Amino acid sequence: MDIQPLTEGQYFHIYNRGVNGEDLFKEERNYPYFLQQYKFYCSDVLETLAYCLLKNHFHLLVYIKENVEVPRKDGQGMFKMNASKQLGHFFNSYAQSLNKAHKRTGPLFESPFERKGVDNESYLTAMIYYCHRNAQHHGFVNDFRQWEHSSYSSITRNDNTMVAAAKVIDRFGSVGAFEDAHSVFLEDKKLNKYIIEY
């Protein structure tokens, strides 16, 4: 199977699940920790437009930043960061912490992580509300707005801490238009080829 590279300057839907469908989030505290580690390892190389964390899988809609360089640890020049490697470090860090806390061993995530290039504006917009409505789609809540572990409420508050909320709102025109788009969303059959059900 060919693995699509995370090309700089492009948008991607990144998603993955636990090995054999195992839960990635075993306790409530795991959700904020996942985001904390994601921000630590990936915020330099990824701009996040939307996310949704569910019990055994997650969805991220991201933009791969271009030409990100940081000083080398030895002080000798600059080092170019790589999005795939940073995601790998993030997944390993989270898995090690969860393994230690729950006295488990072995891999936590399926490997390699899934990614799909987002190649047009309509797909990009649709993926934003697909991510947010995922918890309702899988029956975790009756109303996706009640799910605390997605970026929906951050975007409506224009909170840019974890997501590029201002940029997302700008795509829709206003917070009201963003909320309206989610309210009337119907799953587009053309998107089925991009979406894997967990």
Q: Give pLDDT tens digits for 25-63.
A: 999 999 999 999 999 999 999 999 999 999 999 999 999
Instruction: Confirm if 129 and 185 have CB atoms less than 8 A apart.
Output: yes
The CA-atom distances, in angstroms, between 141 and each of 19, 132, 146, 147, 180 are 24, 12, 7, 7, 19
Mean pLDDT (whole number) for 125-132: 90
74-125 pLDDT tens trace: 778 787 889 999 999 999 999 999 999 999 999 999 989 999 999 888 889 9
Give the pTM: 0.90
Q: How confident is the model at residue 186 (pLDDT cuts 50, 70, 90)?
A: low
Nearest to 25 by CA among 196, 147, 164: 147
- The CB density around residue 51, as the number of other CB atoms within 10 Å, is 25
Mean pLDDT (whole number) for 146-163: 95
Question: What DSSP assignment string belongs to the chain?
Answer: -PPPP--TT-EEEEEEEBGGG--S--STTHHHHHHHHHHHHHTTTEEEEEEEE-SSEEEEEEEE-SS-EEE-TTSSSEEE--HHHHHHHHHHHHHHHHHHHHT--S--B-SSPEEEEE-SHHHHHHHHHHHHHHHHHTTS-SSGGG-TTBSHHHHHTT-TTTS-HHHHHHHHSSHHHHHHHHHS----GGGGGG----
Q: Which domains does the chain have, with CATH numbers?
A: 11-193 (3.30.70.1290)
pLDDT of residue 150: 97
